[in-house]
Amino acid sequence: MDPVTRTEPSTAKTVSPGTGVGLRCWGTRGSIPTPGPETVRYGGNTTCFELRHGGSRLIYDAGSGIRPLGLDIVEKGPDTIHIFLTHFHWDHIQGFPFFAPLYDPEDSIKVIGPKQKDIDVQNLFAGQMGPIYFPVPFSVVAAEMEFEHLNEGEYELEDVRMQVMRVKHPSFVLAYRIEVGGHTICLVPDNEMEGDMYDVGPDWKKRIVDFVGDADVLIHDSMYTDEEYERRAGWGHSTFSQSLRLAEEGGVGRLLFFHHDPIRTDDELDTIVARVRDGALARGCSVEIEAATEGMDVQLEADV
């Protein structure tokens, strides 16, 4: 599969600039890139999403999916790019050194993410391009770069309004609530709904339900089945059923499972999604359920 050219998977509509809000999924795999024939449909690249609404390039996370996105940007010409990060685990930043616009002096890139104690965003990025990890030093980056911290509160960019919230996963990890064009998309990355070992405050459960409240689309970490979770509690991730419970409690319209486990084949994911969907329908749950697919465009029509 070539995610640069693959634009229209079976269940998705294509976004036309100016007609609505679209979210392109460039990487939906969790933990480590997982290429191969058994993952070709849902994709093997790690976390990267792009918000398309006719304005600036807004990118969420820099997993290996940002590499083909970078090629797409280069093909279309220099741009002003904003990259919002959820956290700094490898699968969310590993594609950054391979992001082609970095090496074009005509590109402008702003990276916004959560500071980790005393380590700022620039040092976290430059660190992964040190000579022990990567052959090309950060000093070779030619694009105009800017770094900014975002650990709590709101962030506005043109007509896009974002709120962030710390979620339950090792280190300081952000979820994003993105409001644009009368629509709301919530991106909740690595997050362990049931974990109790995280320093997130006593009312966290209520706050996360409010945070995703009435979203058109919720994209949520769904690595494990209930059976698998019995052996994975404390690993920082949620189950399919936990994600669905959050979507229901928040009154979400459409739920996309993501951060697919590297061991999960396409066929297994099909089976799991069908089972969860059937169970939800049987008890009258109205949430639309599917698994995020690399190359998928999630389109929300303009209604404002």
Where do contacts with Zn ion occur on this chain (CB under 5 A)?
A: 30, 89, 91, 190
State in angstroms the smallest separation of the CB of 119 from Zn ion: 16
State in angstroms the smallest separation of the CB of 92 from Zn ion: 6
State in angstroms the smallest separation of the CB of 70 from Zn ion: 20
State in angstroms the smallest separation of the CB of 55 from Zn ion: 28
Nearer to Zn ion (CB atom), residue 31 or residue 299: 31
Is residue 45 a contact partner of residue 71, using CB atoms and an 8 Å limit?
no
Nearer to Zn ion (CB atom), residue 174 or residue 287: 174
Nearer to Zn ion (CB atom), residue 82 or residue 87: 87
Is residue 118 a contact partner of residue 153, using CB atoms and an 8 Å limit?
no
Is residue 55 a contact partner of residue 160, using CB atoms and an 8 Å limit?
yes
State in angstroms the smallest separation of the CB of 195 from Zn ion: 13
Nearer to Zn ion (CB atom), residue 91 or residue 266: 91
Nearer to Zn ion (CB atom), residue 89 or residue 183: 89
State in angstroms the smallest separation of the CB of 60 from Zn ion: 13
